[in-house]
Amino acid sequence: MTTTTTTTATTTTTRPAPPDAPAPDGYGATAIPLAEFGKSLTDADLDEWLEAFGQRNATAGQYEISPQGCLLIMPPTGNPGTYHETHITIALGIWADAHGGFVRGPTALFVLPNGARYGPDASWVAPERRDEVLQERRAFSHLVPDFIVEVQSPSNSRAELVDKINQFIAHGTRLAWLIDAPTRTVIKFRPGQEPEILHDPEYIDGDADVLPGFRFAVRARIFDYLNNP
C-alpha cells in the first residue's frame, strides 16, 4: 500500500553546547564515579579497562563514560530498539558500499576530546579519513565520526540524547539524527545551525555535503515497523 503524506519541518531554539560545557550524567543509566573503581578520565589505560569491564559484565547491559568521569551502565537494548538499530546500520552500510566510508553499529564506542566514551546507534566516518581509521590501534576509536544516529529508547529522554548529540557536534560531527519513534519525529543537527524537527517524515535524506544520495525510509523501517513487518 502506498501512502502519500506531506512532510513538514520546524526548528527549535536548542543550540549545540560548547565543547567544554558540562552535561548531566545518566542518559537513563546508572552513573557510578570512576573513582569508585580507582580510575579517572586521565588514565592512559582507561579504554582497555572499560573494554575488560564490559566483557566481564556483558549480560548486565551497555557501558559508556561521561565527561564528568562517571561510568554509565545502561540496560540491554530490547525490542523494538534492536530492530531499529539494525535497520539504520544496514541501510547506512549499503549506501557506504557504493559511496565509501566506514560504518559502525551500536557496539562501537568513540572517545571524544572531553574524555567521554559514547556509542551512538550508528555512525559513519568519511572515506577521505581512511588513513586515520587504519592507523588506529586502540580499543575504542579516538576519531569523531562525521555522521551519527541515535534512536530514542524507553531508557532515554529526548533532552538527554540531545545533550549527547550536542557533544559530538561540538567536537566535529557534521550531521546527526535523533529518531524518536513514539512521537514519530526526527531532529537533524548540524554545526552552527539550529536543529530541524521533521514531523512524521516518510524518508530522511542525508545532506548533500555529508551523505549525498543517502535516503532512509524512517516511517516504514522505524515508525511503522511493528505494525507492518
Question: For the domain that residue 208 is a member of, what is the CATH number?
Answer: 3.90.1570.10
Whether 122 is in a domain gets the answer yes
What residue numbers bound the domain in which 126 lies? 8-19+77-223
pLDDT band (50, 70, 90) for residue 207? very high
Contact call for residues 117 and 110 (beta carbons, < 8 A): yes
The residue among 87, 67, 71, 89 whose CA lies nearest residue 79 is 87
Whether 185 is in a domain gets the answer yes
Helix (H) or strand (E) holding 184, with range, is none
Tell me what the mean pLDDT of segment 7-36 comes to: 53
Whether 158 is in a domain gets the answer yes
Tell me what the mean pLDDT of segment 48-61 comes to: 89
pLDDT band (50, 70, 90) for residue 28? low
- Retrieve residue 57's grid coordinates: 559484565
Residues 6+ apart with CB under 8 A from 119: 62, 64, 106, 107, 108, 109, 110
Q: What is the pTM for the complete model shown?
A: 0.83
User: How far is Cα 201 from Cα 197, in angstroms, rounded to an integer?
Assistant: 10
Averaged pLDDT of the chain: 84
Q: How buried is 78 (Cβ within 10 angstroms: 0-12 exposed, 13-18 middle, 19+ buried)?
A: exposed
Whether 170 is in a domain gets the answer yes
Of the candidate ranges 53-67, 117-131, 197-211, the one whose mean pLDDT is the lowest: 53-67
Whether 3 is in a domain gets the answer no
Whether 56 is in a domain gets the answer no
Whether 96 is in a domain gets the answer yes
Residues 6+ apart with CB under 8 A from 46: 34, 39, 40, 65, 117
What's the total number of domains in the chain?
Answer: 1
pLDDT (tens digit per residue) in 183-201: 999 999 999 999 999 999 9
Whether 177 is in a domain gets the answer yes
Higher pLDDT, 208 or 229: 208
User: How far is Cα 167 from Cα 23, in angstroms, rounded to an integer?
Assistant: 8
pLDDT band (50, 70, 90) for residue 77? low
The residue among 62, 51, 12, 7 whose CA lies nearest residue 166 is 12
DSSP bridge partners of 30: 73
- Retrieve residue 127's grid coordinates: 572515506
The torsion of the CA quartet 117, 132, 165, 37, rounded to 10 degrees, works out to: 0
